[in-house]
Structure 1
């Protein structure tokens, strides 16, 4: 397992410590989760942009979708 160091001012560090404690997780678990969620959000945004670029504008009502599923 790798180790990474994050440098921040004392005010930010205290906020992170308090939030991790509030959530009942270690600072490492909190940081890992936050970093991975940020990466996932960025990936999701890119996927959305690609989907919008390829959108034909065609829409279906819920009734049409349900009929197609039957």
Structure 2
């Protein structure tokens, strides 16, 4: 198991209550919920960045190949 550490965040009482209630609804602790939400957000942002890079590459050279063409070339 990886080492763990603590991170403190400040929020309003209403925000804390909302997060606790939401997490509890799904059988999670607030810590589990916040950790999962933040990591998923980061993953989504990285995926979006990669998509924009791939889209720019395609826009610069919009040639596409079928799976059969790729297989013929590399297999």
Same fold (TM over 0.5): yes
**Structure 1 residues without counterparts, runs of 5 or longer:** none
Q: In structure 1, how many angstroms separate the alpha carbons of the residues matched to 2:63 and 2:18? A: 47
Task: Give me the whole-angstrom Cα distance separating, in 1, the residues matched to 2:51 and 2:31.
Answer: 30
Query: Which of 23, 27, 35 is 1:24 aligned to?
Result: 27
* 1:38 alignment counterpart: 41
The number of equivalent residue pairs is: 65
Q: What TM-score comes out, normalization by structure 1 length?
A: 0.80
1:1-70 residue pairs with structure 2 within 5 A? 1-55=4-58, 56-59=61-64, 65=67, 68=68
Deviation of the 1:59 alpha carbon: 4.9
**Which TM-score applies when normalising by structure 2?**
0.75
* Runs (5+) with no aligned partner, structure 2: none
1:6-65, Cα deviation, whole Å (9 max, x unpaired): 1100111111011000010111110110110011011001101100110033356xxx54
How big is the alpha-carbon RMSD for the aligned residues of Structure 1 and Structure 2?
Answer: 1.7
